[in-house]
A and B are shown apart, each in its own frame.
Chain A
Amino acid sequence: AQRVTQPEKLLSVFKGAPVELKCNYSYSGSPELFWYVQYSRQRLQLLLRHISRESIKGFTADLNKGETSFHLKKPFAQEEDSAMYYCALSGFGDDKIIFGKGTRLHILP
């Protein structure tokens, strides 16, 4: 069965410190992984996806198939990074996209 686990409900980090939001998944086939972000009073939106291998707003995420993880990282946190972050998974060729429970990131001044 498909499953996405985000172990932290809340993560508080000081401005300028490194950020790592954890995501682990369970999927028997070839997964596609994504991170979505919801800023205060804004719509949920795609932040990045593993197939693009891109860095968005300083965030990166590497798919580790051995550890079945897709952690989101940023070397230096900024106050505007405060938001709700969701890890999501889809199977290759599958249209269904499921989400983890989300992690609220709070950047402390």
Chain B
Amino acid sequence: DAGVIQSPRHEVTEMGQEVTLRCKPISGHDYLFWYRQTMMRGLELLIYFNNNVPIDDSGMPEDRFSAKMPNASFSTLKIQPSEPRDSAVYFCASSLKGQGTGLLFFGSGTQLSVL
């Protein structure tokens, strides 16, 4: 397995544009997490899914952010419209409950720059 796959690796866009980040979890994993990493705030949990169902989206900063998981092998995080303060590295991680709590497998992240 190639691990958690995120795309794109880098995204540069202009303020007001729609941005879609993509994630493919490890096959068979039943949890998927989206995190945002910034210097000021560290790693923030945005939302997580269990068996494709959103469980907790309390970390989603605003209505401009939305996330979906249409099936077990794909999730998207969308920002519409994007703003410069959304610039950050966005990580996706997956886990399998049977492997034990806390064992997250992270993707390589998407570096988002909003100009």
Residues of A participating in the B interface, judged by any CB pair closer than 8 Å: 6, 32, 34, 36, 43-46, 49, 51, 86, 88, 90, 92, 95-102
Given contact pairs A43-B108, A44-B106, A49-B103, enumerate 6 new A-B contacts (beta carbons under 8 Å).
A6-B42, A95-B55, A96-B56, A97-B104, A99-B42, A102-B43
Chain A residues in 8 Å Cβ range of B109 = 43
Complex Cα distance, B102 from A100, in Å, reads 14
Tell whether, in the assembled complex, residue B106 and residue A43 are in contact, meaning their CB atoms are under 8 Å apart: yes
Complex Cα distance, B100 from A90, in Å, reads 11
Chain B residues in 8 Å Cβ range of A100 = 42-43
Interface size on B, residues (CB 8 A): 25
Among all A-B residue pairs, the 7 with the closest Cβ atoms = A101-B42, A99-B43, A44-B106, A34-B102, A43-B106, A102-B42, A49-B102
